[in-house]
Amino acid sequence: MNNTVHFIFFISLILFQCTQNSRESTEIPGKPNIILLVADDAGYGDLSCYGQSKFKTPNIDRLEREGILFTSHYAGSTVCAPSRSALMTGQHTGHTFIRGNKEVQPEGQYPIPDGIKLLPEYLKEAGYVTGGFGKWGLGYPGSEGDPINQGFDEWFGYNCQRLAHNYYPQYLWHNRDTVFLDENYRNAEGIYSFDLIHQKALDFIDDHQNESFFLFLPYTIPHAELLVPHDSIFDHFHGKFPESPYKGVDDGPDFRKGPYGSQNSPHAAFAAMMVRLDLAVGDLLNKINSLGIGQNTLFMFTSDNGPHLEGGADPDFFDSNGPYRGFKRDLYEGGIRVPLLARWPEVIQPGTTTDHISAFWDILPTLADATDLTITTEIDGISFLAVFKGSGKQIQHDYLYWEFHEQGGKQAVRMGDWKGIRLGVKENPDAPIELYNLLNDPDETDNLAHQNPVIVEKMDSLMRKAHEPSEVFP
Domain contains 452? yes
Number of structural domains found in the chain: 2
Domain contains 16? no
Instruction: Note the pLDDT tens digit of each residue in 167-197.
Output: 999 999 999 999 999 999 999 999 999 999 9
Question: Distance between CA atoms of 88 and 379, rounded to whole angstroms?
Answer: 11
Count CB atoms within 10 A of the CB of residue 419.
Answer: 22
Residues 409 and 343 in one domain: no
Out of 7-16, 307-316, 399-408, least confident range? 7-16
* Residue 474: band (very low, low, confident or very high) from pLDDT cuts 50, 70, 90: confident
Domain contains 1? no
Residues 366 and 466 in one domain: no
Instruction: Note the pLDDT tens digit of each residue in 223-277.
Output: 999 999 999 999 999 999 999 999 999 999 999 999 999 999 999 999 999 999 9
- Determine phi and psi for 144, rounding to 5 degrees: -65, -20
Domain contains 403? yes
* Residue 30: band (very low, low, confident or very high) from pLDDT cuts 50, 70, 90: confident
Domain with 274 in it: 31-394
Residue that terminates a domain, selected from 374, 394, 414 = 394
Domain contains 19? no
182-190 long-range contacts (CB < 8 A, ≥24 apart) are 184/256, 187/250, 187/251, 187/255, 189/227, 189/229
| CATH number for position 164 | 3.40.720.10
- Residue 394's contacts (CB-CB under 8 Å, 6 or more residues apart) are 356, 384, 386, 387
Question: Distance between CA atoms of 465 and 424, rounded to whole angstroms?
Answer: 18
Residues 355 and 407 in one domain: no
Residue 207 pLDDT greater than 80, yes or no: yes
- Residue 243's contacts (CB-CB under 8 Å, 6 or more residues apart) are 264, 265, 266, 267, 268
Residues 383 and 407 in one domain: no
Domain contains 18? no
Residues 359 and 460 in one domain: no
Residues 235 and 322 in one domain: yes
Residue 16 pLDDT greater than 80, yes or no: no
- Residue 465's contacts (CB-CB under 8 Å, 6 or more residues apart) are none
Give pLDDT, residue 452: 98
Residues 345 and 244 in one domain: yes
Residues 379 and 403 in one domain: no
Which amino acid type is present at position 368? A
Q: Is the pTM of this model over 0.95?
A: no
Torsion of CA 127, 132, 136, 139, to 10 degrees: 40
> Of the candidates 435, 323, 437, which has an alpha carbon nearest to the alpha carbon of residue 45?
323
Is the peptide bond prior to 222 cis by the omega test (within 30 degrees of 0)? Answer: yes
Residue 290 pLDDT greater than 60, yes or no: yes
Instruction: Note the pLDDT tens digit of each residue in 139-149.
Output: 999 999 999 99
Residues 294 and 405 in one domain: no
| CATH number for position 432 | 3.30.1120.10
Instruction: Note the pLDDT tens digit of each residue in 97-146.
Output: 999 999 999 999 999 999 999 999 999 999 999 999 999 999 999 999 99
- Determine phi and psi for 110, rounding to 5 degrees: -55, 135
Contact yes or no for 130/164 (Cβ under 8 A): no
Query: Assign residue 137 a region: left if phi > 0, alpha if psi is -120 to 50, beta otherwise?
Result: left
* Residue 154: band (very low, low, confident or very high) from pLDDT cuts 50, 70, 90: very high
Residue that terminates a domain, selected from 330, 364, 394 = 394
Domain contains 248? yes
CA angle 268, 273, 279 (to 5 degrees): 125
Residues 427 and 306 in one domain: no
- The mean of the pLDDT values for the chain is 94
Domain contains 3? no
Residues 385 and 458 in one domain: no
Residues 402 and 384 in one domain: no
With helix as H, strand as E and coil as C, how does the chain read? CCHHHHHHHHHHHHHHHHHHHHHHHHHCCCCCEEEEEEECCCCCCCCHHHCCCCCCCHHHHHHHHCCEEECCEECCCCCHHHHHHHHHHCCCCCCCCCCCCCECCCCCECCCCCCCCCHHHHHHHCCCEEEEEEECCCCCCCCCCCHHHCCCCEEEEECCCCHHHCCCCCEEEECCEEEECHHHCCCCCCCCHHHHHHHHHHHHHHHCCCCCEEEEECCCCCCCCCCCCCCHHHHHHCCCCCCCCECCCCCCCCCCCCCCCCECCHHHHHHHHHHHHHHHHHHHHHHHHHCCCCCCEEEEEEECCCCCCCCCCCHHHHCCCCCCCCCCCCCCHHHHECCEEEECCCCCCCCEEECCCEEHHHHHHHHHHHCCCCCCCCCCCCCCHHHHHCCCCCCCCCCEEEEECCCCCEEEEEECCEEEEEECCCCCCCCCEEEEECCCCCCCCCCCCCCCHHHHHHHHHHHHHHCCCCCCCC
Contact yes or no for 218/198 (Cβ under 8 A): no
Residue that terminates a domain, selected from 379, 394, 409 = 394
Count CB atoms within 10 A of the CB of residue 223.
Answer: 26
